[in-house]
Amino acid sequence: MHSSFPFTSTALAAPLLAIAFSAPLAAETSCDARLMSGSIAQLSPTHATVDTSVLINAAPKDVWATLTDFDNMAGWSSSTLQGMTGDIQDGGKVTISFIFGSDEKGEPNLMEIPHTLMYEDGQSFGWSDPFSDDIGGGHDNHLYRVEACGDQTLFIQSDEVVDNPYAANFVAQLLPMYQTFNAELKASVED
């Protein structure tokens, strides 16, 4: 089974982005000066990226512990990643619970998506698996990463959509959802 993300009707009607654009929420200087940022870029008609980050006032081990407590994630995450089950190790087969948009009734669209996990304990996890043909094919490279910033942590969430004609539409929809996840992770860890 391949991962699939439904498009909202407005997303299908939205034109592809003609140029890359950025939506920083704070100056991108040193790690310690970064509060929260996000940007998207269309690299070609079928290749786009989304990069987001947030500075969390906690040690990386504490951010990692909350980020990988998949059984309790849905308690603080209202968008995108809700949890993960399976063989949680590098190369392991997992199923993620993921919200992408909402259905016709306005309810969150929760999907169960199988992935092969890329995992480096205490530092990063993600996946790179194909999209189904009904949403344009290609694949994504989704990564969650923690980096030490003095006594704080920079949390980075990025995604790259490759060989998909809707790549720009995907990343435009993902940017605000990833920023919401990042802000909620920050609030959960700092609480």
3-state SS assignment for residue 174: helix
What digits encode the pLDDT tens for the residues 55-79?
Answer: 999 999 999 999 999 999 999 999 8
**Using CA atoms, how far apart are residues 57 and 186, in angstroms rounded to an integer?**
8
How is residue 173 written in tokens?
């929809």
Quote the pTM value. Answer: 0.82
Q: Give the pLDDT band of residue 108 (cuts 50, 70, 90).
A: confident
Beta bridge partners of 160: 49, 141
Q: Give the pLDDT band of residue 32 (cuts 50, 70, 90).
A: low
Beta bridge partners of 64: none
How is residue 48 written in tokens?
């786009």
Report, in angstroms and rounded to the nearest whole number, the Rg of the chain calculated over CA atoms.
Answer: 16
Mean pLDDT of 147-158: 93
Residue 22's pLDDT is: 38
Greater model confidence, 161 or 106:
161
